Structure 1
Amino acid sequence: MAATFDPYDKSSWYFGPMSRQDATDLLLAEEGGVFLVRDSTTIHGDFVLCVKEDSKVSHYIINKIQQGEQTNYRIGDQMFDDLPNLLAFYKLHYLDTTPLIRPAPRRIEKILAKYDFEGRDADDLPFKKGEILTVVSKDEEQWWTAKNSFGRTGSIPVPYVQKIEDGHHSLNDGNRSMSGGSNPVSQHQEAVNKRTNIQRKLPAYARVKQARVPNAYDKTALKLEVGDIIKVTKMNINGQWEGELNGKVGHFPFTHVEFVDSENNDGVDES
């Protein structure tokens, strides 16, 4: 079968953060040559080309090689300028038992909002608790792109939503599961606390695990670089925490940091 995809249409073949098992489960039901590209779960910045070959799914690591201002992508002993050129090459050449035929189909995934999300950046998608959203893409581990019932798309924080299993959740089911007489604000704070594993005494220090460049018009947002140590001064219920970084005070998404444990604080004093 001839290849039927555009290697420059990244939205068709790039599935973002995805576990090896999820990729395998998705591709096992497909014919040979069906593929997807996901982020490597072990090396930040690298990718994995997942392909259905015969009765198995193969996972080929794609190393991102940075040399000065030049970026190349290596798979096996082959080197390419970018991912589209890599995919175009394997449209015509075999990997192990097949060339690339077409990207894997995207499953329509519905999610239920567990809490209100007001959004702070222009590219965020605000929503209310109980709303049903459709996943567009899983760009980052804690931030996805979703679409609401009005067709508007934007970024959403993953801890604020839950997956809707086929036939197991309706809007009412979701509301019942989040009710039970408890204050939704306290439930929300509980979820935030659960993510950080511990009720923190503030101020406390956290390490940036995911870079974020704020909207240029938001002068109170902090620019985050992976590895930065930020002094957390306030944990807001809406998920936008406040802190100090490089002498600047501002807000940032809690999903982009992790607290520095006192037993492994690399010299940072949490007291």
Structure 2
Amino acid sequence: MKRIASALVLASLVAGCGVTDRLANVGRAPKLTPMDNPSAPLIEPSLGNQAAAHRSGKPVETAAPSASLFRTGAGAFLRDQRASRIGDIVTIRINISDRAVVGNSTTRSRTGSESAGIASLFGLESQLDKVLPGNPDPANLVDTSSDSQSAGAGNTSRSEQINMTVAALVTDVLPNGNLLIRGRQEVRVNFELRELIVSGVVRPEDIARDNSIRHSQIAEARISYGGRGQLTDAQQARWGQQIYDALFPF
């Protein structure tokens, strides 16, 4: 009981913190998450920087002109413009249309009967009426039968469909050339905030010509689509009901 009481007190305190936050945000729209600083090289390599570094023996940290044709990726006509470095942007096309139906049925039946008796046992069968009530018959002492039946059926149906497009940043390049990507998109309409988060590992070879990639080509993909706001709060059970459901098994 002490453990249950302690758990209730702790859950109340934790829930109380959430209540305080919700009361402070009454009448206010949910806040957008601050944008993280994108990872990108501070200085783009160029022919001029490489020549100066070769003469001095150390790298020269000077910003390259944004319109220089000698800066890698700035105005290259022959360079592949698909994402390949830290800070590059790649478009992710999410087209999830999954449907699964699982059904099973089980039927079990069993019938058994047993019959046993002692017609004669060294004359001891004549003494059974003194031990067992009801004038027993030695030839039919035990007669049992059993019958059991069991039937079960189950059906699971699931359907999901998400069609979205999100831009992601290349956050790191692995030693084998694969790219770590992460994209975050938030859309707030009135008092409801919708959030889409995508992360995973992609191969540069899988990126299409239009610098896009399908979600099915992302390894270790983590796709989260949800929201927060007044509509989400209305669809969730109250914190007291959630605590009750977690603690009481009946």
Asked which structure has the greater RCO (Cα within 8 Å, sep 6+), the reply is 2
State the TM-score, normalized to the length of structure 2: 0.22
The structure richer in strand per residue is 2
Instruction: Tell which structure's C-alpha radius of gyration is larger.
Output: 2
The structure richer in helix per residue is 2
State the TM-score, normalized to the length of structure 1: 0.21
